[in-house]
Amino acid sequence: MKWEDLRRSSNVQDFRTRGGAGRGNSRLIFFLIRFLIGNKYGRIVLAIGFVSYLMGYNPLLLLSFLDAPKTAQSKDLTHPSNTQDNTTAEFVSVVLAQNEDIWHKLFAKAGKRYEEPKLVLFRNSVNSGCGYATKQTGPFYCSRDKKLYLDMSFFDELKNRHNSPGDFAQAYVISHEVGHHVQNLLGTLNKSHRLKTNSSEKQANATQVKVELQADCYAGIWAHYVSDVIEKGDIQEALNAASAIGDDTLQKQARGYVVPDAFTHGSSQDRVKWFAKGYKYGRLDSCETGI
């Protein structure tokens, strides 16, 4: 993929050099908890925080102003660990910028306004609007703060564990998460949450699969509109990644057999199918998965 001379996004927040809440904040939190335990009203505050945590809200975000992530322009992506890491961060910024340009045009065409998401780069752990997360979570989108979260080590896992190397495979993953943001803006995520409420686990999983496959299709739409920078083999890289992280493939690797009712992202075949559909047609209406 020919990306080096393309525009970088201003919506990247570089959190790579800070682990989760950070050492300073961890110490502050420890003393804060000790202080709150020592009086009646403090214990009430702790109880409210605990209930909030059970409901999915991260009470530590109240301290986020102490360690707010820095918005990274391209010049800000030069300070962490090594050259390769920084190059990848630059690449992520370019892919995000491409998505911004594409979705602005498609939303405007539909008479809607596209709101750009932030993308948070981190390593090991992070506090998001949807709670605390580690690198084991993988890339994810949080609808509460409208941010994408990406641990840089995931790309190494994509290459080494899932045998899906290449920058276009990485770009597919980023664009898939942007696809969830698009779903949030269009109301699809709220609709899926309603459908999953009071449904059986099997039905909830089936709904989630439709959500994920549509995000794959939206990633395909991104690929449709960047044909001028695509090089030989790029699309195959994306298809390989889609196939490698299909539920059936991952289940076979983990347990040796497949349980379709437990799928939450879709089979390898379906993930490839819906990415290819978005890539072929480049239209929102080509991505109707039945949500």
Q: What digits encode the pLDDT tens for the residues 184-223? A: 999 999 999 999 998 999 999 999 999 999 999 999 999 9
Closest CA relative to residue 271, chosen from 235, 241, 291, 233: 241
Q: What is the mean pLDDT of residues 125-143?
A: 92
Angle, alpha carbons 208-209-214 (nearest 5°): 100
Q: Tell me the per-residue pLDDT of 140-193, one tens digit each, with 9 for 90 and over.
A: 999 999 999 999 888 888 888 888 889 999 999 999 999 999 999 999 999 999
At residue 40, what is the residue type? K
User: Residue 82 pLDDT more than 90?
Assistant: no
DSSP classification of residue 108: H
Angle, alpha carbons 218-221-226 (nearest 5°): 135
Q: Residue 196: what are its φ and ψ, rounded to 5°? A: -80, -20
At residue 140, what is the residue type? F
Q: Tell me the per-residue pLDDT of 242-264, one tens digit each, with 9 for 90 and over.
A: 999 999 999 999 999 999 999 99
What is the domain partition of the chain in residue ranges? Answer: 23-67, 72-116+152-287
Q: Sign (positive/negative) of CA torsion 184, 190, 192, 197?
A: positive
DSSP classification of residue 217: H
Residue 10: Cβ-neighbour burial (10 angstroms; 0-12, 13-18, 19+)? middle
Q: Name, in order, each residue with C-beta under 8 angstroms of 29's C-beta and a sequence gap of 6 or more.
A: 21, 60, 63
- Cα separation, 72 vs 75, in Å, equals 7
Tell me, what's the pLDDT at 103? 98
Please give the radius of gyration of the chain, using alpha carbons only, rounded to the nearest integer. Answer: 20
Contact by Cβ (8 Å): 140, 212: no
- Cα separation, 150 vs 123, in Å, equals 8
CA distances from 155 to 88, 108, 152, 172, 195 (A): 9, 32, 6, 11, 32
- Cα separation, 57 vs 253, in Å, equals 33
Query: What pTM did the predictor assign?
Result: 0.79
pLDDT averaged over the chain?
Answer: 85
Tell me, what's the pLDDT at 54? 55
